[in-house]
Structure 1
Amino acid sequence: MKNNLVIQILFAFVLAIVLGAIVGPDLEIVQPLGDLFLRLIQFIIVPLVLSSLVVGVASTGNLKELGQLSFKTVSYYMVTTAIAISIGLFFGTLFSPGTGVDIDVSSNPSVEAQETPGIKDTLLNIVPTNPIAALTDGNMLQIIFFAIFLGIGITMVGEKARPLYQLFEQLAEVMYKITGVVMRFAPIGIFGLIAPTVGEYGLAVLWPLLKVILALLIGSLVHVLIVYSLSVKYLGKMSPIVFFKNIMPVAMVAFSTSSSSGTLPMTIKYTEEQLKVPRKISSFVLPLGATINMNGTALYQGVCVLFVAQYFGMNLTFVDQLTVVLTATLASIGTAGVPSAGLIMLSMVMTSIGLPLEGIALLAGIDRILDMIRTSVNVLGDASAAVVVSSKERNQTEPENQEEEYAAVHYG
């Protein structure tokens, strides 16, 4: 079943690109298929994250283990994000994408600066004043906070809270089944998302800014194939080939939807079923990653900041580039995993080093393409973190008689 779905997704992906390039804007007629698929995913995100995270935290059993899990997860995300920005700056310097670009920005609409939230406001905004409102609005960080404390409360109450735990456990099982049904429509949804995009923009829009796309694409491949591969192999004790083979359908859905949050149900499903990450790990690491882990977006910041600086003939000092790394790493916390959220982050980063915000308008025509690339990297980063954290937890608790089974799963 899994292999059939992978083949169907790949076929739909290729068919969408070919037909989009040939037919053009008329393929907008299939857009509702993509929109419907996105809505199906969005409707399962909140109950899936809430129920699975409550169960995951409650099954942890003690606050010390939860604290260690949180520290490992956030540390991995922050380190890989900083590395991603550095890689973006490197390839932005190597390709010099803004040099010689002849595009007039005077006719483009002005871009307003986005105020960078302070650390105090960022931390305060994690705590919901109304958990029901957080669920209604889909505020993922607040939902995670609520679910964690609900799980902790269930653990502290003990046997009396057993019926509540079982309720969330049953809800989680139902949501996993619904997720499996929704994923069967992934090939149709991907076709409905990719074909109109290719048809609308065509290939002509790529040429003036081809170096930006290549810098981001090659930088992303380097980050994925080196940083994630080494992390999975040496920290996660899993073969990179096994990892990428099993998680690639998720990356393709992420590429199509341009949404880390929208891909979350499929990321959870494949991480648990194919990569054998325990539910108590995946239900914590992945929702958190969809909200704060923005490796691809961070890499995009590095490339685009240098592109804008080169276009306007401005030289960035080492201090400026260090500011970009720090600002983009902090701005990634709480940035919504939704399409084009990277542009909001970019405006924050550019403001921090005094770059003209009009430069963002240069990227508007190809942002959808850039968004697809960076979202795929974001989601692969979430999955790699789940594998790494799972391995660290497993090393502390795994019985010796399970070692052979573990090796068979992780090394094929």
Structure 2
Amino acid sequence: MAKASKKGGLVGSFGFQVLAGMVLGLALGLLARHLGTEVGRPGHSLSEALGQAGSIFVQLLRVLVPPLVFTAIVASIANLRELQNAAALVWRTLFWFAFTALIAVSIGVALGLLLQPGVNTTVAAAAAEAPHVRGSWFDFLTGLVPSNMLGLQAATTLGEDGAQTGLSFNVLQIVVISLVFGVAALKAGPAAEPFLTFNASALAIVRKILWWVIRLTPVGTIGLFGTAVAHYGWDALSQLGAFAIAVYVGLALMMLVVYPSLLLANGLNPLKFFGGAWPAIQLGFVSRSSIGTLPVTQAVTENALGVPKPYAAFAVPLGSTTKMDGCAAIYPAVAAIFVAQFYNVPLELTDYLLIVFVSVIGSAATAGLTGAVVMLTLTLSTLGLPLEGVGLLLAIDPILDMGRTATNVAGQALVPTIVAKRQGILDLDAYNAAVGEIDRDLAASPTPAA
């Protein structure tokens, strides 16, 4: 498949098609914004069409996440007999999750103190509004213990019409359910072989369907990027410019300095990593969804970066739920300092240590929920800061969310790659040949479970 993807040249490559989708989405978004996106204005229909195209694409990705996570993890458990150091892989993965989160939150705190976004802002206090959803430390337990066999839960999202509650799936609960089924299948012995064979076949089918959906990425990119551009609040961006700069500088430092430094320290070429992980990072940027990007992240981690499938099937889904350097480390650190500065609340050394603690541990506590707003409310409530400060930042959240999600996805692929390299199980030939072509990465057949 790799050769086939190269025959089309640059124009036929997946990366070029997605880039073209971003350019077209930008043009259509600007057009809709120029015509006016309010009801009754000429640009409203265009804006709605872009929004529907993007939403349908993300929905198609999300619907494949539960079967992909379940079948991939069960297959990985069945294949754990091939990995002699499974326990060491788990603990090292958790360590690197926490270590990179510690670096990210330290950068966020430093930038918040240096750039003082809460002081250098013109946003009006009237924009303050308490959020409808909040993070809680009890969410960690509810996120771990499945409430039903499908991992379904009620989820509240914020939209233009206020808070809306609907059914969603809890990926962390699906991970737990999958681990239990996988271990039980191993303990059941020969009686479970038909189930494991069926699971391997189901995994192959899910990956094939996923490949078809991913081919729609250029179309989805037009809708997602166009919608973001059409609804950007440029006035709000100018009022919160210092805050947006602080967040994006922090994200850039993680992506362009910290991640490459960690790769070099472990004997890995950063250019090869970003070349292999780029499809997932790119999709994360336009979709603003780590969960929606999970199938692609797992595919590139396994096939382009050379991480063994049994290990990647465990580490990547877990990372997509709890490993968020952008949303759960840099952003809440800068935002908490912004809110403290805006309301003239002095922070002590212990408060900054609490920010670090919440960012390193708190992402697990909010694993059952979604969105950076939840993580921010957990940080603010832990520090005793006004939750109304969240409303000050919501106007430019889509602008920040693109960079946050891209950083999240990069970190979710980075940690398994580094751990696999340190454990001596990384396929260096695959890593050094990483080209990040979706055709090759998703068309690769999964390893049979038996």
Please give the TM-score of this superposition, normalised by the length of structure 2: 0.83
Shift of the 133–46 alpha-carbon distance from structure 1 to 2, 3 Å rule, reads: closer
The answer to whether residue 354 in structure 2 is matched with residue 323 in structure 1 is: yes
The answer to whether residue 121 in structure 2 is matched with residue 101 in structure 1 is: yes
If each structure's helix is expressed as a fraction of its own residues, which one has the higher value? 1
Shift of the 355–312 alpha-carbon distance from structure 1 to 2, 3 Å rule, reads: same
Identity %: 31
- What CA distance in whole angstroms lies between the structure 2 residues aligned with 1:63 and 1:246? 24
1:327 Cα deviation from its structure 2 partner = 1.7
1:276 Cα deviation from its structure 2 partner = 2.1
Matched to 2:392, the amino acid is L
- What CA distance in whole angstroms lies between the structure 2 residues aligned with 1:108 and 1:58? 51
The answer to whether residue 78 in structure 2 is matched with residue 58 in structure 1 is: yes
Matched to 2:286, the amino acid is S
The answer to whether residue 426 in structure 2 is matched with residue 381 in structure 1 is: no
Contact 2:304 2:430 in 1 (8 A): no
- What CA distance in whole angstroms lies between the structure 2 residues aligned with 1:106 and 1:142? 39
Contact 1:267 1:383 in 2 (8 A): yes
The one of 5, 23, 26 equivalent to 1:17 is: 26
The one of 433, 444, 448 equivalent to 1:409 is: 433
1:76 Cα deviation from its structure 2 partner = 0.8
The answer to whether residue 69 in structure 2 is matched with residue 45 in structure 1 is: no
Shift of the 138–312 alpha-carbon distance from structure 1 to 2, 3 Å rule, reads: same
- What CA distance in whole angstroms lies between the structure 2 residues aligned with 1:295 and 1:169? 32
Q: Which residue of structure 2 lines up, in the alignment, with residue 151 of structure 1? A: 182
Matched to 1:80, the amino acid is T
SS in structure 2 at match of 1:116: coil
- What CA distance in whole angstroms lies between the structure 1 residues aligned with 2:127 and 2:140? 35
User: For structure 2, which runs of at least 5 residues remain unmatched after alignment?
Assistant: 38-42, 154-166, 437-450
The one of 144, 147, 171 equivalent to 1:126 is: 144
Shift of the 407–302 alpha-carbon distance from structure 1 to 2, 3 Å rule, reads: closer
Q: Which residue of structure 1 lines up, in the alignment, with residue 440 of structure 2? A: none
The one of 306, 331, 350 equivalent to 1:276 is: 306
Matched to 2:25, the amino acid is A
Contact 1:61 1:155 in 2 (8 A): no
Matched to 2:17, the amino acid is Q
Contact 1:260 1:337 in 2 (8 A): no
The answer to whether residue 315 in structure 2 is matched with residue 285 in structure 1 is: yes
Shift of the 115–42 alpha-carbon distance from structure 1 to 2, 3 Å rule, reads: closer
Contact 2:143 2:170 in 1 (8 A): no
Contact 1:291 1:334 in 2 (8 A): no
The one of 349, 356, 362 equivalent to 2:386 is: 356
The one of 352, 355, 366 equivalent to 2:396 is: 366
Q: Which residue of structure 2 lines up, in the alignment, with residue 295 of structure 1? A: 325
User: For structure 1, which runs of at least 5 residues remain unmatched after alignment?
Assistant: none
Q: Which residue of structure 2 lines up, in the alignment, with residue 251 of structure 1? A: 281
Residue deviations 1:164-188 (CA, integer Å, cap 9, x gap): 1111111111111111111100011
- What CA distance in whole angstroms lies between the structure 2 residues aligned with 1:329 and 1:219? 16
- What CA distance in whole angstroms lies between the structure 1 residues aligned with 2:84 and 2:149? 25
The answer to whether residue 172 in structure 2 is matched with residue 165 in structure 1 is: no
Shift of the 104–228 alpha-carbon distance from structure 1 to 2, 3 Å rule, reads: same
Q: Which residue of structure 1 lines up, in the alignment, with residue 230 of structure 2? A: 199
Residue deviations 1:241-297 (CA, integer Å, cap 9, x gap): 011122122112111111110110111122222212221121111100011111111
Residue correspondence of structure 1 range 335-354 to structure 2 within 5 A: 335-336=366-367, 341-354=371-384
- What CA distance in whole angstroms lies between the structure 2 residues aligned with 1:134 and 1:110? 27
- What CA distance in whole angstroms lies between the structure 2 residues aligned with 1:77 and 1:110? 30
Contact 1:103 1:362 in 2 (8 A): yes
Residue deviations 1:324-365 (CA, integer Å, cap 9, x gap): 1102222200535876x1111111111111211221111010
- What CA distance in whole angstroms lies between the structure 1 residues aligned with 2:197 and 2:387? 51
Please give the TM-score of this superposition, normalised by the length of structure 1: 0.90
- What CA distance in whole angstroms lies between the structure 1 residues aligned with 2:365 and 2:196? 28
Matched to 2:339, the amino acid is V
